[in-house]
Structure 1
């Protein structure tokens, strides 16, 4: 059995169709599990073997099984030989048929190949599982030299963009099976049609040379594609424009509008605007456009129109195009507004420049004068008619030179050419002109961005003079400060010493080297604090120097440890600096202290004097009252008769005691007023009655001196609020003073008048008058009138008058002319209540 199987296997390797049966049979007999499939292959032989195998199985003997197997194999060999002979005949027949079919296929392939190669083309085929493609055809149509391997190197025979597009299409064809058709042009200008298809699991690329009519069609298609792309691009461009654009046919109907046009006519989109024939321009503007189109002319004009509900101004251009026309409307509303605003701004600038004190002359790129202001004409005294003719720069300079308004130059031509360098410069240049009329001009030449030059002329004569004066003033100021007795220091806005004089160094014992370093006020106060350690004063001084807001002057007094008294004063300066002065007032303070002590002593002495007078007057009044009382008793006849001599002496006693009592009463009244204890008994006082009562008190003196008293007061003068007793006392003292200084036979005028706000009493005498320097002295206590009089009193009358009048809130004035007389006027305010003295 092994040999049979081995032989079957060998035959199977050499002739598969012969050994297959033997191997199958041997296998079936060896493995009973395969009997069923073998039965179908062996056919009738199995019909003989099966009964034998059944019989062998029934007997169960080994020998019987062997015999049965041997007989089966013999039968199978015979039958197999017969089957193999039949199969060989059939195989020979099949080989003959296959050979004929192969020859027919080769003929068909050759015929198809000849048909494919009938036109110049290249075929590239990729098998489903192969990476290396098969390349057939005339490769020279795409690759110079016809090298097949370079067909797929698209970059060698196509432009970069086309090569990249081709590589992408081939990749999609091989990976996804997407076919494509493209028209390409090689680097040498040969048109190629590239077509890719998936056929039977393979990817086929065909590159075909096109020419003739087909080439024309391809070029026409390419042109059509390009034109379509251009049209699409133009449409996108026109839709992106902010200006309305339209196209019309030969009948004037809209055939195209862009998005801006649709927005302007408030349409939903351009198609809606075209379908409804919505017009942007009004009827008159459209009529103008139609007339220009009829004359085959381009219309261009500025017209108003309503766009998106607003009135706008458009620059409209409508030009013939083919059988129709195209148009565009540029919105110039803002440009018009800006043009008007620019015109107004230019005019405003001209007006402003015309008001400047700086002379301005503007020359254009042609060096012609296009603008000048009044200051320019005034500075050089030029004729307006000449300037209005737009003269050149050279003509203006020549005119100025002729009028001696330019600096004297040895080479005027060269100087002028140097000045003209401004027309080629990029930065402003400055010149100083010293004119023959002793003026100095600062001239600035500024190149204009659009070309030309602007000349600026400033008369700096006064400024230079002021600068010289300022320098001289600074020198004088420095010299003055250096020679001042006061210590002066100026601190800048940063708190550092900017200026100081030698007195400041000496007073605070500072070194020049330290101050020349411009130390801060903190350091300066620290150095000065050694001499005076009152930290509050130095802190306030630092605050006054370094403060930003509320810079108030500081006044303080410092008493140093060595006894020197210094007055410190700060003064804020306009530039943010602070002036600090230190003045040695030691002598002044000492004198002031001495004077104050003396004044206090005088005040104390005066107080003692008043107390003494008050006390003495009070002590004199009681015994004087007793004397007056006893004198009155002695004069009474009930107590016995008196001799003439006694009666005469008693009269002297009575007169003297009455005068002494009046003096004592006046002294007491003045002391009471001075002590602030005097009160007024206010009430309604009849003015004329008070005047008459006061006149009766001096009647005997008037008769004795043959003096006439003229009382002037209207019967209707009425009354006012006052203390009647004190008012009579005031008037009596005024009349007594006038009588005492009036010569015999004169007239005294005693007048009263009512004003809207006051009652005025005046007493006029014609005595010797009072010197101006003595007018205030007559109101002092115990000061007698310097005019002299035989009726001189103790000098209390006018003092008492002023005190009582001021107690009523009034005033007393004296008008006197030497040798002509004196007028004393007392004014009592009506509206103001008389003052009452209070403690």
Structure 2
């Protein structure tokens, strides 16, 4: 058909050119026809009516008959015939153009031209609603999403305003000429491969649009028309998704810090999330929970380990629990576990399906509440049992608590007090008994004060001759506790007591003076006893050496006993002098570095004869690195001598007395342990008092100055001494000497008997 159309067009063109050579009118008609035919040859219109003269019937091109009626509807055909008639009747140049509807409803363009009796009437289909035209183009340009279309050869045919704005081009031709595109070469290659394979490309690409980096979700489809595509900016969506992920992670971390156990199950009844408290509460294995077990599997596991309430029909109970998946409102329940735990359970349906379990262990709460209620009852009973009148006012100034003594003391009515009256009302009710005392005004000031709530003590002398001592004590919760104590009897004897106190003070001063006189007397006498004692000891030594002649065995024994008694008396006098010096504050210590091992060995040697006489084993122990310490060496030996002598005196024959040294962080401990009968309970508190002696067994009983001397010397060193029962048998006396500077470790070993 197209070939015949072209052949007929060429013949018509030849005839028109022949007529053009005949006359000018014919030439004009030929030129009009020539323009029409050229338009037809170029494919501008598939249907046309052409005529060369007013009396010439129109010839149809691309039509089976010279009429547009078969192609048009009834109304459109009538309009086409009217347009044709107007062109043929026009005396001069004429032009028509209108849009008609085809028989199938498609829009058609009718355009005609006439000149000098010749003319052409063209009927062509309007171009399909191309993206570059009409309302669709306006709509696409208004979209914030870039949209584009490419021809089959890949050239850009259409781009909306969003596309051009993102790539920075003014028109699609400018974008094509500059090679601007949303997809880079790599993304374009992936898209082309997908379009060849499946005809569709979907992917997320990174691009730089309008000077910023963004992520685009790209969709392209291909067809005979080429390719069409659009891109959705997913930057904000991705940022929102990342923010949502961070928020969810933060919520998970927050939930893991809660003491409330949380477990979330999805619509498929499988575990979606749980926090650490859920694992701890039910002692569930993480590996088991990571498998996303179902609600029923977890309940079965908990039942096997007796972590759920005992149920006569467990299946029915589990089915009842699962009704929460279809519920609308949360379900509250309490689980009483076999082990005594009490759990508060809240099952909340989720909007997207599934449920959320919340478990609160109320065991401790219930125990605390029970203890609190017990304490409240005990508090009330305690207050009612007090002789003092007690009233507690809240931060609002109203009476919260009172006891029977308060009500009786002020002759108040229990019903009125039960209404929690204000302090002003309470003061008014008490006024008949307290008169116009300012004490209640001061009490009110403490109760109603907001800042600087200071405790208050006061005394009220009532008109009925009763005297009350009271106090107003602010409480941490903003309340105030007011107490009243009846001190009428005490007030009556205060004057007499003051007189007695004055007498006692005078008596005490007299006793102190007597005590000083006693100490001075003891020191003076002890000092003057030492001189004649030294003379007696000297004469006894000379007699024993034979200066006055040879001595018999009995005489030597007498002299030995005299020497021993003299030594004991001299030690007693030395102790008395030392005590007198200590009491007078005149005792001064000669501090120096003391070798601990040497001090122990010297003390042991000093009592060696006593130990042999008592048939007691003496053991000295000290670690190798015991080193030195700062002290008065002579007083240390005196301390150890007194402790060892006391221990030997109370030890039975064959027993062991141990002298030990031990380094501690707070100082050096020198201790003596014996295997005697221990410290009697009746002398335990007075053991360090002067002239109080520990029973020394069958051998002898001391005068009771040894331990007093020991305590005094140790305290002068800044230390402390203790005597207590040793583990098993005997007594342990320990002296702690604080560290006075760095000690130099020295070689010291363990010495035995």
Question: What is the TM-score when the length of structure 1 is the normalising length?
Answer: 0.48
| CA spacing shift, 1:347–1:511, aligned 2, 3 Å | same
* Contact 1:694/1:729 (<8 A) preserved: no
Counterpart selection for 2:160 from 234, 258, 264 = 258
Measure, in 2, the Cα distance between the counterparts of 1:720 and 1:387.
74
Unaligned 5+ residue runs, structure 1?
Answer: 1-209, 389-399, 409-415, 423-427, 835-839
Measure, in 2, the Cα distance between the counterparts of 1:692 and 1:286.
103
Shift of 1:503: 4.9
* Contact 1:259/1:270 (<8 A) preserved: no
| CA spacing shift, 1:370–1:789, aligned 2, 3 Å | closer
Counterpart selection for 2:708 from 799, 804, 808 = 799
Describe the superposition over 1:239-282 as per-residue Cα deviations: whole angstroms up to 9, x where unpaired. 33222223445654323323322233333554521444534345
Counterpart selection for 1:278 from 180, 188, 199 = 180
Bigger relative contact order, structure 1 or 2 (CA pairs below 8 A, ≥6 apart): 2
Q: Which residue of 1 aligns with 2:517?
A: 612
Describe the superposition over 1:598-646 as per-residue Cα deviations: whole angstroms up to 9, x where unpaired. 9989976763452232133255457757866998999999xxx9xx9xx
Counterpart selection for 1:429 from 294, 304, 329 = 329
* Contact 1:770/1:817 (<8 A) preserved: no
Describe the superposition over 1:276-328 as per-residue Cα deviations: whole angstroms up to 9, x where unpaired. 45343456776787799999x9746335363427363333244669x666543
Measure, in 2, the Cα distance between the counterparts of 1:727 and 1:403.
83
The yes-or-no answer on 1:217 pairing with 2:97 is: yes
Describe the superposition over 1:416-444 as per-residue Cα deviations: whole angstroms up to 9, x where unpaired. 9xx9996xxxxx53556799999999776
Measure, in 2, the Cα distance between the counterparts of 1:435 and 1:710.
70
Q: Which residue of 2 aligns with 1:778?
A: 687
Shift of 1:780: 0.7
Paired residue secondary structure (1:681): coil
Shift of 1:730: 4.2
The yes-or-no answer on 1:403 pairing with 2:315 is: yes
Q: Which residue of 2 aligns with 1:533?
A: 439
Give matches, 1:421-820, under 5 Å.
428-429=328-329, 448=351, 455=355, 470=369, 474=373, 477-478=376-377, 480-481=379-380, 484=383, 485=385, 498-503=400-405, 505=407, 516=418, 518=420, 533=439, 559-561=459-461, 563-566=467-470, 571-572=475-476, 580=481, 582=483, 584=485, 607-618=512-523, 620=525, 624=529, 663=572, 666-682=575-591, 687=599, 691=603, 694-695=606-607, 706-707=613-614, 722-723=631-632, 726-727=635-636, 729-730=638-639, 733-734=642-643, 737=646, 746=653, 769-787=678-696, 791-814=700-723
Say which is worse superposed, 604-613 or 824-833, in terms of deviation.
824-833
Paired residue secondary structure (1:783): coil
* Contact 2:467/2:486 (<8 A) preserved: no
Describe the superposition over 1:650-703 as per-residue Cα deviations: whole angstroms up to 9, x where unpaired. 99999999977765553343233234332123457764795488459xx7x899
The yes-or-no answer on 1:302 pairing with 2:203 is: yes
Q: Which residue of 1 aligns with 2:216?
A: 313
| CA spacing shift, 1:362–1:654, aligned 2, 3 Å | closer
Shift of 1:804: 2.1
Describe the superposition over 1:185-217 as per-residue Cα deviations: whole angstroms up to 9, x where unpaired. xxxxxxxxxxxxxxxxxxxxxxxxx99669963
Q: Which residue of 2 aligns with 1:246?
A: 148
Paired residue secondary structure (1:404): helix
Paired residue secondary structure (1:403): helix
* Contact 2:601/2:620 (<8 A) preserved: no
* Contact 1:482/1:503 (<8 A) preserved: no
Measure, in 2, the Cα distance between the counterparts of 1:347 and 1:817.
62
Unaligned 5+ residue runs, structure 2?
Answer: 1-83, 88-93, 100-108, 112-124, 284-291, 298-311, 744-753
| CA spacing shift, 1:602–1:434, aligned 2, 3 Å | same
Measure, in 1, the Cα distance between the counterparts of 2:314 and 2:630.
91
| CA spacing shift, 1:725–1:454, aligned 2, 3 Å | closer
Measure, in 2, the Cα distance between the counterparts of 1:749 and 1:372.
74
Measure, in 2, the Cα distance between the counterparts of 1:465 and 1:754.
50
Paired residue secondary structure (1:239): helix
The yes-or-no answer on 1:328 pairing with 2:230 is: yes
* Contact 2:148/2:160 (<8 A) preserved: yes
Paired residue secondary structure (1:255): strand
Measure, in 2, the Cα distance between the counterparts of 1:300 and 1:326.
10
Measure, in 1, the Cα distance between the counterparts of 2:640 and 2:335.
83
Measure, in 2, the Cα distance between the counterparts of 1:301 and 1:684.
92
Paired residue secondary structure (2:144): coil
Larger-gyration structure (1/2): 1
Paired residue secondary structure (1:429): coil
Measure, in 1, the Cα distance between the counterparts of 2:346 and 2:637.
88
Measure, in 2, the Cα distance between the counterparts of 1:244 and 1:231.
17
Describe the superposition over 1:58-108 as per-residue Cα deviations: whole angstroms up to 9, x where unpaired. xxxxxxxxxxxxxxxxxxxxxxxxxxxxxxxxxxxxxxxxxxxxxxxxxxx
Shift of 1:759: 7.5
| CA spacing shift, 1:727–1:514, aligned 2, 3 Å | same
| CA spacing shift, 1:300–1:471, aligned 2, 3 Å | same
| CA spacing shift, 1:596–1:291, aligned 2, 3 Å | same
| CA spacing shift, 1:800–1:267, aligned 2, 3 Å | same
| CA spacing shift, 1:463–1:563, aligned 2, 3 Å | same
Shift of 1:405: 0.8
Give matches, 1:68-87, under 5 Å.
none
Q: Which residue of 1 aligns with 2:286?
A: none
| CA spacing shift, 1:369–1:772, aligned 2, 3 Å | closer
Measure, in 2, the Cα distance between the counterparts of 1:343 and 1:742.
81
Equivalenced residue count is 565
Shift of 1:237: 3.9
| CA spacing shift, 1:805–1:299, aligned 2, 3 Å | closer
Measure, in 2, the Cα distance between the counterparts of 1:305 and 1:760.
79
Paired residue secondary structure (1:302): strand
Measure, in 2, the Cα distance between the counterparts of 1:626 and 1:749.
38
Describe the superposition over 1:507-541 as per-residue Cα deviations: whole angstroms up to 9, x where unpaired. 67766566555566798799999777398887666
* Contact 1:810/1:827 (<8 A) preserved: yes
* Contact 2:651/2:676 (<8 A) preserved: yes
Measure, in 2, the Cα distance between the counterparts of 1:657 and 1:292.
124
Describe the superposition over 1:347-374 as per-residue Cα deviations: whole angstroms up to 9, x where unpaired. 99899999974665665xxxx8687778
* Contact 1:749/1:763 (<8 A) preserved: no
Paired residue secondary structure (2:182): coil
Aligned-CA RMSD value: 6.9
* Contact 1:362/1:369 (<8 A) preserved: yes
Shift of 1:796: 2.1
Paired residue secondary structure (1:312): strand
Shift of 1:814: 3.9
* Contact 1:565/1:589 (<8 A) preserved: no
| CA spacing shift, 1:527–1:248, aligned 2, 3 Å | farther
Measure, in 2, the Cα distance between the counterparts of 1:797 and 1:276.
114
Measure, in 2, the Cα distance between the counterparts of 1:247 and 1:597.
118
* Contact 2:526/2:576 (<8 A) preserved: no
Shift of 1:798: 2.5
